[in-house]
Amino acid sequence: MGNRTFIFVLLLITWVVLSGQFDAFHLALGLISCALVTWMSSDLLFRNRQDSIWERVHEGWKLAWYFLWMLGQIFLANIAILKLSLSPNAMEQVNPSIVHFKTKLKSDFAKFLLANSITLTPGTVTIKIKGADFYVHAINEAAAAGLDGEMERRIARIYRSEARAPEDGSQRKGGS
């Protein structure tokens, strides 16, 4: 029940922001449609429905801090791209390889977060996710060495459901 209320409030905020009308007619329309959507599809947003609202809020708070750290990483990645694309001998610095590793994250959202984070950090882009297997394209050796599972541990720390944070990071295997 708590989750349904949470989703309803979330949808209602979205409605109010996007419509920008505050008269009774539009608000009533919003209430009706948000209730309808919540009733029909409330089980789509969250996978495990046991958690309480406060845990959700707590996770959201930790997620916000994670995004702040992420923003710094995106800056570093863009500075690296800018340097690489403007350097006259860019082709000598490019030495791509495909790195394969297994993740210990279980939920889909955590994997999605890890894939997007890998894409946005310096020199690496996720190519493929197959179950627990990640295939990552690294632009040179330094970027490939940077995939030491540190990000994975950060993500695992956000979610209580990711039972145990990987202790030694992910074991990397050779390129494809």
Partner 1 sequence: MLKGRRRNFEDMIIINTISIILILTGLLFFFGSVVGVLRFPDFYTRMHAAGKGDTLSSLLVIMGFAVYHLGQIHWMDFVWADLLVVIKLLAICAFIMLTSPTATHALMDAGYEDGIEPLTHKKGNALREPKVKGRG
Task: Report how far Cα 16 is from the mean position of its chain's Cα atoms.
Answer: 26
With beta carbons less than 8 A apart as the criterion, state whether 103 and 74 touch.
no
- CB burial of 1-23 (b: ≥16 within 10 Å; e: otherwise) equals eebeebbbeebbeebeeeeeeee
Q: Which stretch binds partner 1 (CB under 8 A): 43-51, 54-62, 84-92, 161-169?
A: 84-92
Could you give the string, one character per residue 11-50, with x where binding to partner 1 holds by CB under 8 A and - elsewhere? Answer: ------xx-x-x----------------------------
Place of tokens 């394969």: 100
Task: Rank residues 39 and 61 by Cβ distance to partner 1 and give the closer one.
Answer: 61
Q: What's the min distance (Å) between Cβ of 168 and partner 1?
A: 26
Residue 53 Cα distances to 5, 6, 56, 60, angstroms: 9, 7, 5, 10
**Residue 76 CA to its chain's centroid (Å):** 18
Shortest spacing between CB 151 and partner 1, in angstroms: 13
Least distance between partner 1 and beta carbon 149 (Å): 19
Residue 146 engages partner 1 in binding (rule: CB under 8 A): no
Please report, as ranges, the residues that interact with partner 1 according to CB under 8 A.
Answer: 17-18, 20, 22, 67, 74-75, 77-78, 81-82, 84-86, 90-92, 94-98, 112, 115-116, 119-120, 123, 125-128, 135, 137, 139
